[in-house]
Amino acid sequence: MLKTLVKVSGVNNLSDARYCSGMMVEWIGFNIEQGSSGSLTPKEFKEITDWVAGVKLVGEFNAATAEDISATLKDFNVDAIQFNQAEQAQELSETGKTLIFRLDRSTTDPRQTEEILDSVAEYADYVLIESSGDECATLPDFSEIPEGIKVLLGDGVSEKNVESLLAGNCVVGISIKGGDEIKPGYKDFDEMASILEKLEED
């Protein structure tokens, strides 16, 4: 068992999926936004997920409309939706899926952070805070996060600080990124393992 919720994002191969399942992470995320770079087809998704058990599956979306997301869900059996457009929160809440709103610090004006989070608080079950730029090495300003929001932290997490980050404040879990296989069936798990092993129950 792990000491906290863990989501692994961008999984695109069976090696990552089975490793995460074995480490008992909470969520495994897959890019299923059809037509986007690196997205999985329904067949590829099924071929991977048929081999894992005990984890919840997250469909990850970036630029898709709420209508397109709902249509895509007909072909993918997921437990949760990750989205990054705040205005979609209310409509997506009608899917009945767990909602994870992704706040990208690279593209969000810090002055608007609190307003954006306030707008999704009623609908999103979790807020994933991470970035696609240099911000990933730093921690967010937790004072900007409205009370009651449950945060999955994807920035500034390392094996050295992961346990202290979970003491207090609003962080209820972390998010780590999956990666490509070196070759089919072979994957280097060192970076992911260093964090997950710190979170294993004694």
**What is the predicted pLDDT for the residue at 109?**
86
pTM reported for the whole predicted model: 0.91
Q: Angle CA(172)–CA(36)–CA(56) in degrees, nearest 5?
A: 35
Q: Give the CATH class of 5-198.
A: alpha beta
Average pLDDT rounded to a whole number, residues 132-145 = 73
Mark out the alpha helices in the chain (DSSP H runs).
14-22, 42-49, 66-72, 89-93, 113-120, 162-165, 190-198
> What are φ and ψ of residue 48, in 5° steps?
-80, -50
For 43-79, the pLDDT digits (tens) are: 999 999 999 999 999 999 999 999 999 999 999 999 9
**What is the predicted pLDDT for the residue at 190?**
66
> What are φ and ψ of residue 180, in 5° steps?
-75, 150
**What is the predicted pLDDT for the residue at 168?**
63
Q: How confident is the model at residue 183 (pLDDT cuts 50, 70, 90)?
A: very low
Q: How confident is the model at residue 182 (pLDDT cuts 50, 70, 90)?
A: very low
Taking the CA atoms of 133, 128, 59 and 93 in sequence, report the sign of the dihedral they define. Answer: negative
